[in-house]
Structures are given as C-alpha cells and as structure tokens.
Amino acid sequence: MQDKSPTRMDSASFDTLWVEAAGAEKFQRRIIRRHVGDLPPGEVLVRVRYSSLNYKDALSASGNPGVTRHYPHTPGIDAAGEVALSASLDFKPGEPVVVMGFDLGMNTPGGFGQYVRVPAAWVRKLPEGLTLWESMAIGTAGFTAAICAYRLEEYGLRPGSGELLVTGASGGVGSFAVSILARDGYSVAAATGKPEQYAWLERLGGKPIDREEIDDRSGRPLLSGRWAGGVDTVGGNYLATLLRATRPGGCVACCGNAASPELHLTVFPFILRGVALLGVDMATTSPEQSAELWRRLGDRWKPQHLDEMARTVPLAGLDAEIERILRGGQAGRVVVSLEN
Ligand SMILES: NC(=O)c1ccc[n+]([C@@H]2O[C@H](COP(=O)([O-])OP(=O)(O)OC[C@H]3O[C@@H](n4cnc5c(N)ncnc54)[C@H](OP(=O)(O)O)[C@@H]3O)[C@@H](O)[C@H]2O)c1
C-alpha cells in the first residue's frame, strides 16, 4: 500500500509518555521528546490538545500484554486536537477532531503524546455541542456508558420499568451511566465502594448504595427481584448478584471487569425470569450508531455539570493517576492536558 503520510513536519519534536520494559515483568514510565517522523504512517497528523485516562490506558501503561503487545509504547486510547496535516480530503488542517478506539493507544502510539498520526478512518470531526476538553471528559468511558444506555433502551426498558443498578458507579463508565440514565428519567441505584462519593453521585441523579449490598454470597440461584436491570462495569460476583436479583423480563448491559472477569451463576435468571445479558464492546459500534450516540452526548445526555465529572492533569501528573485507577480509587474522569 502506498504510504500517504504527510511528512512535512517530521523533524518537529514533541513530549510524550514513554512506557518501557525495565527488567523481568517490570515497566517504567517517563516523559521523553520524540519526533513526528518517529510516528507510524497514517493519513492524518493530529496535534493532540487533550486525552483522557481510562482503565485500559492504565493497563497499557503498566505492561499488560492483553492490551499492548510491544514496548516501548505511548498509551492513550482517546485523543482530541486539531488536524496538523492531512492527506485525506475529509479533513483540513486546523479542523478540531477526536480520535478514539480502533488501535489508538494499544499498539499504535496514543493520546498521551502531543501528536498522533493515524488512518483517516479513525478520525471523527469534533461532535457538535462539545469542546475538545468536553469530548475528552466524556472519552471512551462516557461513550461506553452511552452505548450501555442505548442498548437498554433498544431492548425495551423505559423509565417506568423500575429501578436500574449501576456498578462501579464512581468510576468513569459508571458515573456517566448514572448521569445519562438519570437524565433520561430512570431511577438509578449507584453501587460504590466509596462512601465519600455519595453526595457527588446524588448530584448526578443516582441513589448511592454500598457495593457490599450487591455482593451476595448466599449461594441462592435467584434473589428477590429488585432491579429492572442495569449497567455493570465490574463483573464477578457483583454482576452475578445483579443478574440473580433482576426482575422477570429485565436486562443488564455488561461492559467491564474492574473487579473480576469471572461470572459464576446458574442459568435460572435467564430461563426462569427471561433476563437478558447484553454484552457491550465499544469496538463493534457501527459508524451510524456512533454518530447517534455522539449526537446525544453533545445534547440531552451531556451531563449538566460536566466540569464536575473530570479533573485536568498535565502529562507530568499522569503517573499518580495511573496508580490510582489501578487501585480502583479513581472517581469520575481524568482529562490529560497536552498543551504547552
Ligand atoms: N466493553 C468496552 O468496550 C469497554 C469500554 C470502556 C471500559 N471498559 C471497561 O469498563 C471497566 C470500567 O472502566 P473505567 O474506565 O470506568 O474504570 P474506573 O474509572 O477505574 O472505574 C472502575 C470502578 O469500578 C469499581 N471497582 C474497581 N475495582 C473494584 C473491585 N476490586 N471490586 C469492586 N469494584 C471495583 C470502582 O468503583 P466504586 O468504588 O464506585 O465501586 C472503580 O472506580 C473496565 O473494566 C474497563 O476495561 C469496557
């Protein structure tokens, strides 16, 4: 295939987070300067202004081979900025754009660097109703929460169906799920391990509950039907408890495994209550669905206090945030500023 990368800026240098192996199963992170010419080929060169921290970025930044196969590497699955150079007629220099998903930040240098160079098919014009910063405050986490809400609606749930449960509610995906579902008029229980975030979750429209309440160890295959369904970001026994306590005809969107990838339960919730388990994988969203979700995120699903849902840190402050998200201690979202 012909290399259509614009190369005019190849000698320009920029700051980037650099993750490299440092002995047996050890990885170290530092900020280095690289040249645009070091980036892989791609039709669009983007000057990144903001990125955001997702759980997957923390895995990539700590050497997880399930996310990133080859190091050294620059993580960052989200990036927003302006087109610097473009060999595609679809994008003009200076145009504000967002790059999310595909291979960005996994095995392609990602948004924790001031430039990314990617195929034009990975680039989307900045969605209407959002600034660059706002698009990253939402980022992969908010977009995934939007897919979950969309899938529940598509399945037939409505605000009158009954209360929904969101697990990992203080996390990136969880807090957006609480906010979006509450904005749509659902009654939302927000399960969290962080009592100090109760007041914030209430402001988002949720009813906070201790996550221990949804960690049932009784061994009963079915629990009394409490929820019309929900959004699960943590997996393991929390998801199993939610499914066992979902009412007949309800459904649960499952998107994460922050607690565990395991799921132990009987088939009874499915065959005796007709409960549905909807798998959510951001990567399989169609372009049409993606356009609709961004339209809603820039409009009726945009959190009223988006500025309260994310903190902004410079590249130099990212290391501590990576450690925090790996410990399950993150609340809301972290936007990474690549200005300077
Ligand atoms: N399927 C997809 O396409 C897709 C897309 C994006 C993300 N994800 C996945 O979704 C999950 C959440 O991502 P995120 O970016 O929102 O991460 P995050 O910000 O770290 O949120 C995860 C939340 O889960 C809870 N948690 C963490 N460890 C736990 C444990 N050991 N036991 C119980 N609860 C725990 C915590 O919330 P509380 O303290 O409030 O309980 C934490 O804040 C991850 O597994 C991620 O890989 C999947």
pLDDT of 113 strictly over 60: yes
Report CA(285)–ligand 1 centroid distance (Å): 20
How many Å lie between the centroid of ligand 1 and the Cα of residue 173? 7
| Spatial strand order in the sheet of 164-166 | 206-210, 188-192, 164-166, 227-232, 246-254, 276-279
What is the band of 254 on the pLDDT scale with cuts at 50, 70, 90? very high
Closest by CA position to 28, among listed 36, 19, 16: 19
**What is the pTM assigned to this prediction?**
0.95
* Position 17, amino acid: L
Looking at residue 192, what is its pLDDT? Answer: 98
- Whether the per-residue pLDDT at 25 is higher than 80: the answer is no
Q: Please, which pLDDT band fits residue 304 given cuts at 50, 70 and 90? A: confident
Mean pLDDT over 237-260 rounds to 97
Task: With a cut of 80, say whether residue 4 has pLDDT above it.
Answer: no
Angle of the 132-155 helix axis to the 172-183 helix axis, nearest 10: 60
Question: Stretch 296-311: mean pLDDT, rounded?
Answer: 94
Q: Which domains does the chain have, with CATH numbers?
A: 13-126+309-337 (3.90.180.10), 141-282 (3.40.50.720)
Mean pLDDT computed over 290-307: 94
**Is 6 a residue whose pLDDT tops 70?**
no
Percentage of the chain with pLDDT > 70? 98
Report residue 26's pLDDT band, with 50, 70 and 90 as the boundaries: confident
Predicted confidence (pLDDT) per residue in 175-211, tens digit:
999 999 999 999 999 999 999 999 999 999 999 999 9
216-243 pLDDT, tens digit per residue, is 999 999 999 999 999 999 999 999 999 9
Find, among 190, 189, 188, 186, the residue nearest to 158 by Cα: 186
Evaluate: CB of 328 within 6 angstroms of ligand 1.
Answer: yes
The predicted pLDDT at position 53 comes to: 98
pLDDT of residue 8: 77
- For residues 264-289, average pLDDT: 96
Confidence of residue 68 (pLDDT cuts 50, 70, 90): very high
Q: To test ligand 1's pocket by mutation, which of 53, 54, 232 has the most ligand atoms within 8 angstroms of CB?
A: 54
pLDDT band at 1 (very low <50, low <70, confident <90, very high): very low
Average pLDDT score over residue span 24-32: 90
Average pLDDT of the segment spanning 313-321: 96
60 touches ligand 1 (CB under 6 Å): no
What pLDDT, on the 0 to 100 scale, is given for residue 228? Answer: 98
Residue 67: the pLDDT is 95
User: Does residue 74 line the site of ligand 1, with CB under 6 A?
Assistant: no
Q: How many CB atoms lie within 10 A of CB 194?
A: 18
Determine the average pLDDT of the residues in 86-91. Answer: 97
Per-residue pLDDT averaged across 250-276, rounded? 97
Mean pLDDT of the chain: 95
Q: What is the pLDDT of residue 5?
A: 65
234 CA to centre of ligand 1 in angstroms: 5
Question: For the chain, what percent of residues have pLDDT higher than 90?
Answer: 92
Distance from the CA of 10 to the center of ligand 1, in angstroms?
A: 38
CA angle 30, 173, 75 (to 5 degrees): 20
Q: What is the mean pLDDT of residues 128-144?
A: 97
Where helices occur in the chain by DSSP H, the ranges are: 55-60, 132-155, 172-183, 198-203, 236-244, 268-271, 287-297, 318-326
Per DSSP, the three-state class of 123 is strand
